[in-house]
């Protein structure tokens, strides 16, 4: 199993679409807007000074509205799009500087991609689609089939190995795409709006499948979405793009509690806070109390409130991963924070996640 051990470092990355993009990087650095670049030079600004560290073994979500640059960004990681300027560094190598042979090996062995539209071969069975990447790499047929069958089973499609894509539902087709990516055993998994074409219930199910697999595999996953609820559920870290620039980057909790500007505030206004904010953020750092409920610091407010309600308790002790006592949270505090905190409480919470 490939194990992710290196961050992906994106540094000073620009993409300007047009016949002479490199000539206009200086203009953009000097402050020329996306609109002015189009009006004056008929070039389109895709990415504007992207600097981002994607942590190894974690899920980095990149989100934004249509045209924000999120799909352009993910395609720079495996260089499906050539940058106008900048670096993308992995395992000490700048992917931008790789020659054809090295880039081909990087794409085949280090990365795998899951697309919104599934990108399955209609004339190939589930098994044949899943082994495709291994066949291209020259893996012996027996080994390729064994690995493919294992991952087909892991994503819940055992028994469908001989089926063709048009015989499967959308959710099942996306499971094939995920199995194909995992069979490749790449450390980097690139997922471009992978669940966006699915019905809501199937989408939620696929999110659960991904989270369950990630808990074991610890891949470096870059997940593109325009949906904040999906971003908050999946992302260890979230980067929000607008007009090719990163407006804010951080944990979901940091973004919800400390939106960088009005644009981010509009995204998070209707977020279910109980699904994002942890007990640690709203607890009081006091001595342990007499209560039947002890919760991990990572427990979400909704989980904490449910646990206390089920135990007919008004308070819970909060413990670190090693069991050390951290503080106490009350049921009333959890409920208040899930609804609408007052300014003072919000300031306290913000300070804790800063």
Q: Are 100 and 20 found together in one domain?
A: yes
pLDDT at 343 over 90: no
Same domain, yes or no: 279 and 247: no
Kindly state whether residue 147 falls inside one of the protein's structural domains. Answer: no
Task: Please give the residue range of the domain that contains residue 254.
Answer: 8-110+186-268
> Do 280 and 221 fall into the same domain?
no
Structural domain ending residue among the three candidates 268, 286, 307: 268
pLDDT bucket at 5, cuts 50 / 70 / 90: low
pLDDT digits (tens, 9 = 90+) for 102-113: 999 999 889 998
Instruction: Give residue 270's pLDDT.
Output: 82
The percent of residues in the chain predicted with pLDDT above 70, rounded, is: 94
Per-residue pLDDT, averaged over 67-74, amounts to: 93
Binned at pLDDT 50, 70 and 90, residue 339 comes out as: confident
Q: Report the C-alpha gap between 315 and 311 in whole angstroms.
A: 10
Q: What is the pLDDT of residues 123-176, one digit of tens each?
A: 999 999 999 989 888 899 999 999 999 999 999 999 999 999 999 988 899 899
**Torsion angle defined by CA atoms of residues 198, 201, 206 and 209, in that order, rounded to the nearest 10 degrees:** -170
Point out the domain boundary residue: 268, 300, 319.
Answer: 268
Q: Name the domain count of the chain.
A: 2
* Domain co-membership, 229 together with 283: no
Q: Say whether both 195 and 339 belong to one domain.
A: no
Which positions ≥6 away from 174 have C-beta within 8 Å? 114, 118, 194, 195, 197, 198, 206
**Domain co-membership, 65 together with 210:** yes
Whether the per-residue pLDDT at 341 is higher than 80: the answer is no
Q: State whether the Cα torsion 137-142-143-144 is positive or negative.
A: positive
Determine the Cα–Cα distance for residues 85 and 25; give it in Å rounded to an integer: 8
Comparing 26-40, 47-61, 320-334, 336-350, which segment has the lowest mean pLDDT? Answer: 336-350
Q: What angle do CA 53, 58, 59 make, to 5 degrees?
A: 90
> What Rg, from alpha-carbon coordinates, does the chain have?
23
Shared-domain flag, residues 333 and 249: no
Same domain, 198 and 343: no
pTM of the model: 0.85
Each residue of 113-124: pLDDT tens digit? 888 776 889 999
Whether residues 294 and 258 fall in one domain: no
Looking at the domain assignment, is residue 181 inside a domain? no
Q: What is the CATH number of the domain that holds 343?
A: 3.10.580.10
Residue 238 within any structural domain of the chain: yes
């Amino acid at each position: 199993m490939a194990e992710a051990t290196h961050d992906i470092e994106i540094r000073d990355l620009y993409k300007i679409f047009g016949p002479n993009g490199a000539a206009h990087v200086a203009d953009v650095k000097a402050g020329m807007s996306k609109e002015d670049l189009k009006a004056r030079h008929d070039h389109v600004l895709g990415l504007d000074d992207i600097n981002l560290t994607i942590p190894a073994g974690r899920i980095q979500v990149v989100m934004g509205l249509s045209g924000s640059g999120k799909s352009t960004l993910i395609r720079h990681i495996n260089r499906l799009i050539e940058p106008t300027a900048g670096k993308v560094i992995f395992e000490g190598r700048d992917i931008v500087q790789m020659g054809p042979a090295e880039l081909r090996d990087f794409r085949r062995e280090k990365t795998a991609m899951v697309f919104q539209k599934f990108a399955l071969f209609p004339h190939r069975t589930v098994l044949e689609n899943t082994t495709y990447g291994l066949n291209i790499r020259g893996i012996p047929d027996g080994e390729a089939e064994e690995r493919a069958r294992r991952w087909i089973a892991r994503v819940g499609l055992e028994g469908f190995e001989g089926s063709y894509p048009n015989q499967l539902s959308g959710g099942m087709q996306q499971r094939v795409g995920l199995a194909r990516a995992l069979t490749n055993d790449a450390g980097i998994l690139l997922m471009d709006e992978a669940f966006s074409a699915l019905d809501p219930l199937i989408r939620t199910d696929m999110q659960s499948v991904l989270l369950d697999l990630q808990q074991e595999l610890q891949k470096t996953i870059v997940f593109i979405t325009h949906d904040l609820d999906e971003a908050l559920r999946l992302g260890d870290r979230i980067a929000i793009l607008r007009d090719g620039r990163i407006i804010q980057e951080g944990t979901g909790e940091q973004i919800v509690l400390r939106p960088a500007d009005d644009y981010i505030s509009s995204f998070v206004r209707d977020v279910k806070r109980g699904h994002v904010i942890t007990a640690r953020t709203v607890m009081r750092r006091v001595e342990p109390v007499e209560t039947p409920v002890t919760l991990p610091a990572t427990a979400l407010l909704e989980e904490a409130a449910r646990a206390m309600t089920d135990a007919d308790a008004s308070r819970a002790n909060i413990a670190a991963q090693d069991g050390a006592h951290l503080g106490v949270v009350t049921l009333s505090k959890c409920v208040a924070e899930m609804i609408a905190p007052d300014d003072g409480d919000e300031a306290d919470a913000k300070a804790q996640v800063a």
